[in-house]
Structure 1
Amino acid sequence: MRRVRYYEYGGPEVLTAEDVDQPVPQAGQVLLRAEAIGVNFVDTRFRSGPGSGSIFHRPLPGRPTGDVVGTVTRVGPGVEPQLVGRRVAALAEDAYADYVVAEALWLAAVPDHLDAGDASMLAMSAPVALRILRAAQLNPGDTVLIHAAAGGIGHLAVQFAKFLGAGTVIGTARSSSKLDFVRAVGADVAIDYAQPDWPDQVRAAAPGGVDIVLDAVGGTILQSSLDLLAPFGRAVVYGAATGELEQIPVVKLFALRSVTGFNLTAWRHASPDQARHEMDEIADLFAAGRLRTTVHAGLPLTQAATAHELIETRSHTGRILLLPDARST
């Protein structure tokens, strides 16, 4: 089978396709024949190496993670044999491959007829998008500011915010085409956060402040966002794409503001039953057509470098997929 790894840090060109034996699932694991692999921003930072920021350090060889959609072909010890033949989705390591090992406990069952783009969101992106809003304790009528709203998680967070009853949803992105996309998925206001006056534009749209901020950008974006919170406003930080781990001045919280961090693995460990329930809830919403995923590009597995280039140039909207069965052109 084919697998893509990297053996040195650097640009997308370090991603290396190689022929290897199929992996063997261990206890609690399954082997998936991959149909599609959702590519995530964070792996471009891991590939770039520690220079991207201390939070992005991973040892070599690099085993990219991804949101894998596939069919169970084999199970490890302790896993129900009935899973063989089922179409599922999973967040997995060493994901850029024809066959991928995944943990059986967090497989997401894929509803019948769901396409690969939607299915790729079931295991990680959609659960994060829903839970960060619930962690923010969204109330009906709240004003929500969502950064990077054109991305894989962001464009789902916009939809979830509306579904959960938000009053005004403000989405930020870069470039006019991305702003159009953010509006198309449901945002009431779209703002280019590359513009220096973006906080003033948010204030114009929400004169009383915003109730919720969802941020995975970090750096100065997070610092400015805290100043935009209304009294009792809540910020949820679930990443730091800039690699900058900001110190949050306590004085900013004295204005009746709060900041919560979120990590999917920690959430699953702390509340596994609720995390599983939400995965099922999300699958039902996709099956009913109440959520939708935009796939920007579907590329052959051997074009993983191109997928990373698209992400790093921030030229995509929605999801980028690697398709093992697609032919390179």
Structure 2
Amino acid sequence: MTITAVKKQNSKLLIFGQDVEILLAAVANIISWFVTKFFPSLLPYLLPSSPEEEPLDADHDSERSRCVSIGRPGGLEQLRLVTLRKGIATIGYNVRHVGPPPYAPQNCEIPVDCILLQNKAFSVNYADCCIRWGLYDSAKEFVGWPIVPGFDVAGVVESVGNTSVGYDSKLQQFNIGDRVFGCTLFGAYSDRVIVPKIQLRKIPENLSFAEAAAFPAVSLTALYALHLAGYFPSTQCAGGRNKFQNKAILIHSAAGGVGSLLVQMSKILGLGPIVGVVGSSSKVEEAKLLGCDVVIDKSTENLWLLAEKASPLGYSTIMDANGVSTLKQSYDHLAPSGRLIVFGFHSNLPMGSAMLSPLEWMRMAKKVVKMPKFDAMDLTVSNKAVLGFNLSFFAEEMDILSDQFDQILQWIMEGKLRCPRIVEMDMNDVAEAHTLLQSGKSIGKIILNVTPVQE
């Protein structure tokens, strides 16, 4: 390899046109796969530790935080449940005024705009698997290694920021003991997290901690997607009629975490027909119960033939987190003025296995080559739009997410949004949770309950 093969482009280091960080992640994952398959006794050598961790022989009590730490890209072996030194909690990357993520310094003062959360439950998202593999851009850019994954939290306020200095009356106010839920920009796989107040709300009385932890990331993703599609908040005329003539929406993975909220919110906002796509017959009834007018089981039915039948004039919006398997056809089935909203690439990544073998990396590379390209002139002539987003990059845009969180909370309290179906597991079973999510057989949300340390 010559030095001329290495170049800097768009702030990323490339080797032969490939992102160096992706290549390093591939090497690390292949090493994990090789060691797991042929030399499992050597796995402990692939588990980096950090100085914030408590020595293994220390007495573990309720004053010490526990979290799931990932020390390098790899397989399930990287999901290490560790105990931190006394006075250390996890933090998201937008709490840098406390310290660099993922850990706050020992016995740090809680900032005025934050609270210390005694976390009771957190959700497992597909993004967490991507983080573990080293394939999640915001995690690599803003945290690095080690990293404590996770976005959704639900728990009890343990401590509040010092309001005697820098008090801001516009901040959401919490008291010690309040039940709260919300999002952190990584760091949720922990029993103690420092979280900005703007990212939290009080839990409605009718929700358990596990149910509350199922809402934030998926509901904010769903509502922001509908915002990009033009349906929220300014689509209603004075008489309550939706401004768009074509209100048909197609939602891929309609029984999943984000999909289930997209279906319900689409119903609230007056869209229709709501066409939900599911990947197996076991998810058809769930999609119907959520409010889909038409459900297509792509495992047994002709997806696009039935989609055309459900809305012959095309769709005003198609919500697609699949990636290469459906993006081209999704775009082709938009109506004039339609919008394709992209917020994931699940089919680009492997399902069914939590380990990435060399063969899986070759398959992923092949899929990247096949990704559709959208021509700007065609977008103009066909009067279509393709919009994408990832909320984990929204550290500077919390105001808009805060407003949307308020709307989501109102809908929950009015009974207009039902909690996604949840599967509850224990924090100790984090590897099993990742395996279940990777199997593609889960419905709704996987929630890990935080088990208190036995003194």
Does TM, normalized by the shorter one, top 0.5?
yes
**Residues 283-304 of structure 1, C-alpha deviation per residue, up to 9 Å, x if partnerless?**
1211222111233311111111
Q: Which amino acid aligns with 2:188?
A: A
**Secondary structure at 1:97's aligned position in 2?**
coil
In 2, the alpha carbon distance for the partners of 1:25 and 1:311 equals: 37
In 2, the alpha carbon distance for the partners of 1:252 and 1:12 equals: 43
Task: List aligned pairs for 1:110-189, cutoff 5 A.
Answer: 110-138=203-231, 140=242, 142-189=247-294
Q: Which amino acid aligns with 2:340?
A: A
Check whether the contact 1:236–1:261 (CA below 8 A) recurs between aligned residues: yes
TM-score (norm 1): 0.88
Matched residue, 2:345:
240
Matched residue, 1:5:
69
Matched residue, 1:204:
309
Of all paired residues, the percent bearing the same amino acid is 30
The CA deviation at 1:268 is 7.1
TM-score (norm 2): 0.65
Structure with bigger RCO (C-alpha 8 Å, 6+ apart)? 1
The CA deviation at 1:55 is 7.4
The CA deviation at 1:251 is 5.0
**Residues 251-270 of structure 1, C-alpha deviation per residue, up to 9 Å, x if partnerless?**
54221111222333566745
In 2, the alpha carbon distance for the partners of 1:271 and 1:286 equals: 20
In 2, the alpha carbon distance for the partners of 1:90 and 1:132 equals: 18
Q: Which structure has the greater CA radius of gyration?
A: 2
Is 1:312 aligned to 2:438, yes or no?
Answer: yes
Check whether the contact 1:25–1:76 (CA below 8 A) recurs between aligned residues: yes
In 1, the alpha carbon distance for the partners of 2:411 and 2:428 equals: 33
**Secondary structure at 2:338's aligned position in 1?**
strand
- Which residue of the other structure, out of 246, 253, 262, is the alignment partner of 2:389? 262
Task: List aligned pairs for 1:1-329, cutoff 5 A.
Answer: 1-21=65-85, 22-23=88-89, 24=108, 26-27=110-111, 28-50=113-135, 57=140, 59-77=144-162, 82-92=174-184, 93-138=186-231, 140=242, 142-193=247-298, 197-241=302-346, 242=348, 244=368, 246-250=372-376, 252-253=378-379, 254-264=381-391, 269-270=396-397, 272=399, 274-325=400-451
In 1, the alpha carbon distance for the partners of 2:393 and 2:423 equals: 31
In 2, the alpha carbon distance for the partners of 1:118 and 1:296 equals: 7
How many residue pairs get matched?
324
Q: Which amino acid aligns with 1:264?
A: L
Check whether the contact 1:67–1:91 (CA below 8 A) recurs between aligned residues: yes
Q: Which amino acid aligns with 1:190?
A: V
CA separation of 1:227 and 1:184: change in aligned 2, threshold 3 A: same
What is the RMSD computed on CA atoms of the aligned residues? 2.7
CA separation of 1:201 and 1:55: change in aligned 2, threshold 3 A: farther
**Secondary structure at 2:325's aligned position in 1?**
helix
Please state which structure has a larger fraction of its residues in strand. 1
The CA deviation at 1:123 is 3.2
The worse-fitting range, judged by mean Cα deviation, of 63-72 and 120-129 is 120-129
In 2, the alpha carbon distance for the partners of 1:257 and 1:142 equals: 15
**Secondary structure at 2:257's aligned position in 1?**
coil
**Secondary structure at 1:153's aligned position in 2?**
helix
**Residues 104-142 of structure 1, C-alpha deviation per residue, up to 9 Å, x if partnerless?**
221122222322344224532212212211321236461
**Secondary structure at 2:256's aligned position in 1?**
coil
In 1, the alpha carbon distance for the partners of 2:317 and 2:221 equals: 15
The CA deviation at 1:32 is 0.8
Check whether the contact 1:129–1:156 (CA below 8 A) recurs between aligned residues: yes
The CA deviation at 1:224 is 1.2
CA separation of 1:251 and 1:174: change in aligned 2, threshold 3 A: farther
The CA deviation at 1:30 is 1.7
The worse-fitting range, judged by mean Cα deviation, of 205-214 and 153-162 is 205-214
Check whether the contact 2:138–2:392 (CA below 8 A) recurs between aligned residues: no
Check whether the contact 1:297–1:319 (CA below 8 A) recurs between aligned residues: yes
| Structure 1 gap segments, 5+ residues each | none
